[in-house]
Structure 1
Amino acid sequence: MDGGGMDVEPMPGYVELISRASSVMLGAWRDCRGCGLQLSRQTLLENAYITWTEIFLFFFCAFLFTQVRRGLTECLFKPLSQWCRLLPKDAAKMPESTWKLVFYSMSWSYSTYLLFFSSYSFFHDPPSVFYNWKSGMSVPTDIAIAYLIQGSFYGHSIYATVYMDAWRKDSAVMVVHHIITLALIIFSYAFRYHNVGILVLFLHDINDIQLEFTKLNIYLKARGGSYYLLNDVLSNMGSVSFSITWFWFRLYWFPLKVLYATCVSSLQSVPSIPFYFFFNTLLLALLLMNIYWFLFIVIFVVKVLKMKEVNDVREYEDEDGAKAAAGLLKRPQAENGGGGGDDDDDDDAGRHNSAQGKQVQNGITKDKHL
């Protein structure tokens, strides 16, 4: 892990990344003699190392995540949303955000520990992820634990996005994202690219923490027939922080630290590194999806600048829920309790949404279609 006494390379800029990565990849493509399905199959058999025990643990933990989420949702998250007296559409989505906030906070904290409070120097010296790489090398236990947790969670998330989460405008893209992420986790573990995998997970999980924190405060600012300024302020602060760190972690550090290491530094350390194009294609697809979601963030920022309500722009419009929220937010903060007519309106909204059946369960007004 010490890189053989090599000096730490300075982080490149965007221009250097594009020029050097494209030049190196083009040269590698020209030098690839006999590339094709047969060679890929042979390389897979010679370099992929994964045991049946690890496969069993992956499926068991993915199933366990699903059951734990269901248990927490029924026993804790739903009662909590009822206790907070959220609007029906917000109460339906609060368990999802709470679950994700808990998981990503724990997973990102563990990745942070590995990168900054252990002997690993991957963040400060990204090319070191490929130093001393050997086919079939042992995976350190602390990194193997991180891979098991993250891999099984994304296995669970593919199922959860379709059958448990609220359906949004980008949910189909989210399913593709989870599949690509899971493929990267499984193959990077099997080919012993686990060092770069920890760096990728660290750079992505922080945004999910901020996203779910912001969404929870959006749900909580209009509850129990009242408006709560603190949650409104926290949701705005979370939105600003989310927008900044999305660009900084996913569009700045991710390409300049990870992609430069995988496209350029990998061939310098391991000239015949297996599945070079396969892994870099997946990482580039991940970058494209980060750019795609950044467009939603730009739309969100434009809405904020126009002084519109802070909300998740990926959500489908729910006219009844929007009217109810608008009615609550128009009330003065000092208003006491609300009159009987307001309570009747809330009951009517609840009965109306109860009639929606499947839509209320998912907090939306559209069916799910991939």
Structure 2
Amino acid sequence: MGRMFQTIYDWFWWDRLWLPYNLTWTDLEDRDGRIYAKASDLYVTIPCAFVFMIVRYLFERTVATYFARVLGIKEKVRLRVKPNPILEKSFRASSKHPKQSDIEGLSKKCGLSPRQVERWFRRRRNLERPSVLKKFREACWRFTFYLLAFTAGMAVVVDKPWFYDLRETWKGFPIQTMLPSQYWYYMIELGFYWSLLFSVAFDVKRKDFREQIIHHVATIILISFSWCTNYIRAGTLVMAVHDASDYFLESAKMFNYAGWKKTCNCLFILFAIAFILTRLVIFPFWIIHCTVIYPLELYPAFFGYYFFNAILVVLQLLHIFWAVLILRMTLKFMTGNIVEDERSDRDETDNSEDEEEELVKNGLISNGHSMINNNHGKSD
């Protein structure tokens, strides 16, 4: 068994896979004052991810909650449904959106009208949806990180020659010494994306949940791979481009949740412009062009070259997917509709207050129960 694992390990780290034909891993060992990235450095990103999760927890319940109060965010009162074992079992085991035939069957079992069953399910679905305060806290945390990350990223790359001449990215590759600023930029970015992946089950779930998972995994693989094979210069450019627009989106969400629609719409337009410019113009026509064309001027193509660019293409496909959503939302804005995040679920509303009163009267829901207390920031 030990020999098998050793064989797999040796094959995985085979020089011919990840490095140009005339180089080996010994060429990337520290010597003569030159320091290179090491795969073992990446272990620090896991505890870094848990530190991020702790900082996020404290940030959301202090700073983010404070700003929520300042912006006047108020929770919508959600009516709690009265426990009903039959309906609850169906809700959890069968479907949260039962068909009409199922509703009629449940109404006979419970002794309720089909309309009452429908409204019970609607109320029960609303109780599981994230509150406005939770959404605001999450957006506030991401806005803060992305803004700081973009600022730090620009500080790391803006004074480097490869920021202005992309051919400099590959000058001497892969024999390029690692700078302390590059080390911390990588560790922080990778730690943050690990924290997003670890907390994805607890975050607000959106319609592009699967695409988010793919994006996080692709980003982690890309950052880790570029670190191990010393694609650090290209990696810092990729990270800086990706951080350039996200803080506009998160700030637009924050003001949307606060009801500041004009501010939200202005920030969203800025986000759309920044996203299209960085993800659909700069990324494919500058960054990917740089990683596909310029290395071949120095070395024949090898597996690591193809792998790195394949991950970049996966990210670009995701950019196109999100660009479609952004353009749809921009179209709504231009036609006079309120811009909202199409990926988020919204509370289902009732059409008749008389039906609500009927449910209260029959004991199916209890009035006056808020799922979120703004003063304490607790949620069910």
TM-score of the superposition, structure 2-length normalised? 0.68
Q: Is the 8 A contact 1:87 1:321 kept in 2?
A: no
- Whether the 8 Å contact between 1:214 and 1:235 is mirrored in structure 2 is yes
Q: 1:73 aligns with which of 60, 64, 68?
A: 60
CA distance in 2, matches of 1:233, 1:184: 37
Go from structure 1 to structure 2 and tell me whether the alpha carbon gap of 1:321 and 1:235 turns closer, same or farther (over 3 Å shift).
farther
Q: Provide the C-alpha distance between the structure 1 equivalents of 2:222 and 2:170, rounded to a whole number of angstroms.
A: 16
> How many pairs are equivalent?
284
2:38 is matched with 50
Shift of 1:75: 2.7
Gaps of 5+ in 1: 1-36, 222-230, 324-347, 363-370
Residue identity in the other structure for 1:186:
S
Please say if residues 261 and 338 of structure 2, whose CA atoms lie closer than 8 Å, have aligned partners that are also in contact: no
Q: Structure 1 residue 131 and structure 2 residue 171: aligned? A: yes
C-alpha change, 1:162 and 1:146, in structure 2 (3 Å) is: same
What's the CA shift string for 1:65-99, capped at 9, x where partnerless? 01110111223323442454413332121111111
Largest Rg, 1 or 2 = 2
Alignment of 1:306-317 (within 5 A): 306-317=335-346
Name the CA distance, whole Å, in 2 between partners of 1:42 and 1:190.
13
Q: How far off its partner does 1:162 sit?
A: 2.2
Describe the shift of the 1:282–1:266 C-alpha distance in structure 2 as closer, same or farther (beyond 3 A): same
Query: Quick check: 1:62–1:153 contact (8 Å CA) kept in 2?
Result: yes
Question: What are the ranges of 5 or more consecutive residues in structure 2 without an aligned counterpart?
Answer: 1-8, 19-23, 29-36, 76-130, 353-365
The answer as to 2:322 corresponding to 1:303 is: no
Q: Report if the CA contact (8 A) 2:46-2:191 is conserved.
A: yes
Determine if the alignment matches structure 1 residue 153 to structure 2 residue 198: no
Contact 1:130-1:270 within 8 A present in 2 as well: no
Relative contact order (alpha carbons < 8 A, sep ≥ 6): 1 or 2 greater?
Answer: 2
CA contact (8 A) 1:188 1:194 kept: yes
| CA distance in structure 2 between the aligned counterparts of 1:213 and 1:302, rounded to whole angstroms | 20
**Which residue of the partner structure matches residue 111 of structure 1?**
153
Give aligned-pair identity as a percent.
24
In 1, Cα distance between the equivalents of 2:276 and 2:367?
A: 39
SS in 2 for 1:351: coil
Tell me how far apart the structure 2 counterparts of residues 292 and 237 of structure 1 sit (CA, whole Å): 22
- Give 1:244 deviation, angstroms: 1.1
Q: CA RMSD in A?
A: 2.8
In 1, Cα distance between the equivalents of 2:325 and 2:331?
10
Q: Which of 240, 259, 263 is the aligned partner of 2:292?
A: 263
Alignment of structure 1 residues 1-370 onto 2, 5 Å: 41-43=13-15, 46-47=24-25, 50-52=38-40, 54-82=41-69, 84-88=71-75, 89-116=131-158, 118=159, 120-134=160-174, 137-163=176-202, 165-221=203-259, 231-271=260-300, 275-320=304-349, 351=369, 353=371, 361=379
